[in-house]
C-alpha cells in the first residue's frame, strides 16, 4: 500500500509540474506576442504631416498632423473573467486652418499597414435632442506615408482626403505656407432686411448667423459635416433680440432650422423657423416663423448679406411711452343703492422695444396693465397694479391682498367687453369688484355718450 501511495504522489507531482510548464509556456507566448505586436506598432509610430483636402471639391481644408503612439492597453477577455494587455496606437489628430482643431483616438485598429480609428463626439450639452456622433480616420501606412480619409459618420461625401509623411514639415510651418479659405470653418455671417408681421406692420431686422459655442471635438465634426450648428439671432435694434441657440444650417439643402421660447406677458410659446432657405451663394435668406400657440406662419423674414459694420436697425416704435385712458361711469354699491359716479383709470405701461417685438410675434398674449377706480369727491378708491388683459376675449382681471390692521383683505376685480379703447371713441364695458373683509360687492358700468 505504501508503494502504491508513493507512485500516486509521484504521478500527481509530475502532472503538477507539467501543468506549471504549460502555464509558463502560455505566459511566455503571450509576452512574446505582445512584444512582437508592440514592435510592429512602434515601427509605424511617429508624426505624420501634410494637408487635408475636401472630398467634395478638393479645396484645402487645412494643414493636418497625425501623431501615432504605440502603447499597451488592458482589455477584458472574451468571458470578462480577466484582462490582458494588448498594444494599440493612440492617434492625436490636428488640423490647422483659420483655427486649430484637435481630437484624440484612444483606441484604434492596425494590421499589415491598414489603420483605422473611430472618435466619439459627445452630443452638445445645450441640445437635449442631439445624439453622439463619430469621426472616422481610415488609412494605410507604407514607406513612411499615411494616406487615407477623415470623415463624419453618415457624411462620407463631405469628408476630407489626406497624404501625410513622417518627414513632413511641422503643422505650424505647413499652415503658414498656405492660404486657407476663411469660409472653410464657418464663424459668422450677417444679413439685413425686414420682418413682415402682416396687417401692414413691417420691422427692420438684422439676422446674425454665429458659430455655436462647442467643444474642439464638435468643431472637428462641423469641419467634416454639411450640417453646421449655428446660433441664429434676429436683432430688431435698441436691445430687442430673439436668439435661437440650437439652430442648424444644412448646407446640402440650404435650410436653417431653429427654435426659441418666447415669453410675452403671461404667455409662453415656441417660435420655429419654418421653410427657412439660404440661397446657393449665401446672399439671401427667406424664412417663415410660426408659433406653438397659433396655426400657420405669423411672420416672414427676408434679408440679404451685409457687412459686419452694418448698424443695428433704428427704433421705429410708436408705443414707447405709457398710455393712460380714464373712463367715466357709474357704480352701484348694493343692489338697492342708487348708481353713483365713478372714475376708472387704466394704464398701459411704457413698452420697451423688446416688448413690442414680443407682442407682434404673440398678438394673442395677455397684456399686463394697471387699473384703479375712485369715487369723485371722496377719498375712497382701489388700485390694482397688475391686471391681466386678454385683448382677444376682452377681459380684464386682477386680484390683490392687502392688510387692514391685523386683518387680511382679498380684493378682486373682473371686467367684461374691455378693449382699452380711447376715450375719444365710443366705449361700453362692465366690471365687478369684491372685497372679502366686509363681503362687499360693487358693480360698475361704463358707457360713453359718444
pLDDT value, residue 116: 92
Residues 6+ apart with CB under 8 A from 216: 101, 102, 103
Q: Measure Cα distances from 208 to 51, 172, 310, 436 in Å.
A: 32, 32, 11, 54
Looking from the CA of 388 toward its CB, the CA atoms found within 13 Å total 15
363: left (phi over 0), alpha (psi -120 to 50) or beta: alpha
Distance CA 83, CA 73 (A): 10
Residues 6+ apart with CB under 8 A from 154: none
pLDDT value, residue 390: 86
**pLDDT digit string, tens, across residues 176-219:** 887 766 556 667 889 999 999 977 889 999 999 988 777 777 78
User: Residue 442: how many CB atoms within 10 A of its CB?
Assistant: 18
Q: Per DSSP, what are the bridge partners of residue 373?
A: 344, 382
**pLDDT digit string, tens, across residues 217-243:** 778 888 888 888 889 999 999 889 999
Residues 6+ apart with CB under 8 A from 444: 329, 330, 331, 342, 344, 373, 430, 431, 432, 433
Q: Give the three-state DSSP class for 143.
A: coil
- Which residue in 433, 435, 386, 383 sits closest to 409, CA to CA? 435
pTM of the complete model: 0.68
User: Residue 430: how many CB atoms within 10 A of its CB?
Assistant: 15
pLDDT value, residue 28: 59
User: Residue 349: how many CB atoms within 10 A of its CB?
Assistant: 14
One pLDDT digit (tens) per residue for the chain, 450 residues? 555 554 555 454 554 445 555 555 656 555 666 677 778 888 889 999 999 999 988 888 889 999 999 888 766 555 555 556 678 888 999 998 877 888 888 778 888 889 999 888 876 654 555 678 888 999 999 999 999 999 988 888 888 999 999 998 999 899 888 776 655 666 788 999 999 997 788 999 999 998 877 777 778 888 888 888 889 999 999 889 999 988 889 988 999 999 999 887 667 889 999 889 999 888 999 999 998 877 788 999 999 999 888 888 887 665 568 989 999 999 998 888 899 999 999 999 888 888 888 888 887 777 889 999 998 877 778 899 989 998 888 999 999 888 877 888 899 999 999 998 888 888 999 999 999 887 889 999 999 875
Q: CA quadruple 422, 424, 430, 436: dihedral positive or negative?
A: positive
Domains within the chain, CATH numbers bracketed: 36-177 (2.40.128.120), 188-306 (2.40.128), 323-447 (no CATH)
Distance CA 377, CA 264 (A): 38
44: left (phi over 0), alpha (psi -120 to 50) or beta: alpha
Q: What cell does 376 get?
A: 369723485
Amino acid at each position: 500500500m505504501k508503494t502504491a501511495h508513493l507512485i500516486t504522489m509521484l504521478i500527481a507531482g509530475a502532472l503538477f509540474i507539467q501543468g506549471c510548464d504549460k502555464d509558463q509556456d502560455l505566459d511566455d507566448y503571450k509576452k512574446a506576442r505582445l512584444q512582437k505586436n508592440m514592435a510592429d506598432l512602434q515601427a509605424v509610430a511617429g508624426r505624420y504631416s501634410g494637408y487635408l483636402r475636401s472630398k467634395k471639391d478638393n479645396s484645402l481644408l487645412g494643414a493636418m498632423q497625425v501623431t501615432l503612439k504605440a502603447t499597451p492597453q488592458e482589455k477584458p477577455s472574451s468571458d470578462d473573467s480577466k484582462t490582458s494587455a494588448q498594444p494599440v496606437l493612440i492617434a492625436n489628430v490636428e488640423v490647422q486652418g483659420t483655427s486649430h482643431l484637435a481630437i484624440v483616438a484612444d483606441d484604434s485598429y492596425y494590421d499589415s499597414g491598414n489603420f483605422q480609428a473611430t472618435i466619439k463626439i459627445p452630443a452638445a450639452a445645450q441640445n437635449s435632442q442631439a445624439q453622439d456622433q463619430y469621426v472616422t480616420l481610415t488609412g494605410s501606412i507604407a514607406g513612411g506615408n499615411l494616406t487615407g480619409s477623415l470623415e463624419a459618420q453618415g457624411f462620407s461625401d463631405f469628408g476630407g482626403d489626406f497624404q501625410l509623411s513622417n518627414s513632413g514639415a511641422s503643422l505650424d510651418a505647413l499652415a503658414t505656407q498656405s492660404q486657407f479659405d476663411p469660409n472653410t470653418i464657418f464663424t459668422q455671417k450677417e444679413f439685413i432686411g425686414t420682418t413682415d408681421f402682416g396687417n401692414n406692420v413691417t420691422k427692420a431686422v438684422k439676422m446674425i448667423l454665429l458659430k455655436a459655442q462647442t467643444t474642439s471635438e464638435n468643431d472637428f465634426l462641423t469641419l467634416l459635416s454639411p450640417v453646421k450648428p449655428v446660433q441664429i439671432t434676429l436683432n430688431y435694434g435698441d436691445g430687442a433680440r430673439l436668439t435661437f441657440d440650437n439652430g442648424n444650417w444644412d448646407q446640402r439643402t440650404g435650410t436653417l432650422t431653429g427654435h426659441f421660447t418666447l415669453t410675452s406677458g403671461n404667455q409662453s410659446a415656441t417660435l420655429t423657423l419654418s421653410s427657412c432657405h439660404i440661397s446657393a451663394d449665401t446672399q439671401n435668406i427667406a424664412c417663415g416663423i410660426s408659433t406653438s400657440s397659433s396655426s400657420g406662419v405669423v411672420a416672414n423674414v427676408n434679408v440679404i448679406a451685409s457687412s459686419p459694420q452694418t448698424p443695428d436697425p433704428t427704433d421705429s416704435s410708436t408705443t414707447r411711452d405709457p398710455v393712460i385712458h380714464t373712463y367715466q361711469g357709474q357704480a352701484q354699491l348694493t343692489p338697492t343703492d342708487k348708481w353713483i359716479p365713478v372714475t376708472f383709470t387704466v394704464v398701459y405701461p411704457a413698452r420697451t422695444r423688446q416688448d413690442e417685438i414680443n407682442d407682434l410675434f404673440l398678438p394673442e398674449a395677455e397684456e399686463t396693465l394697471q387699473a384703479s377706480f375712485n369715487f369723485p369727491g371722496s377719498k375712497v378708491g382701489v388700485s390694482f397694479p397688475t391686471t391681466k388683459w386678454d385683448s382677444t376675449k376682452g377681459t380684464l382681471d386682477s386680484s390683490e391682498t392687502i392688510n387692514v390692521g391685523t386683518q387680511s383683505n382679498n380684493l378682486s376685480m373682473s371686467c367684461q367687453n374691455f378693449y382699452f379703447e380711447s376715450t375719444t371713441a365710443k366705449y361700453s364695458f362692465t366690471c365687478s369688484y369684491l372685497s372679502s373683509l366686509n363681503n362687499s360687492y360693487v358693480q360698475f358700468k361704463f358707457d360713453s355718450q359718444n
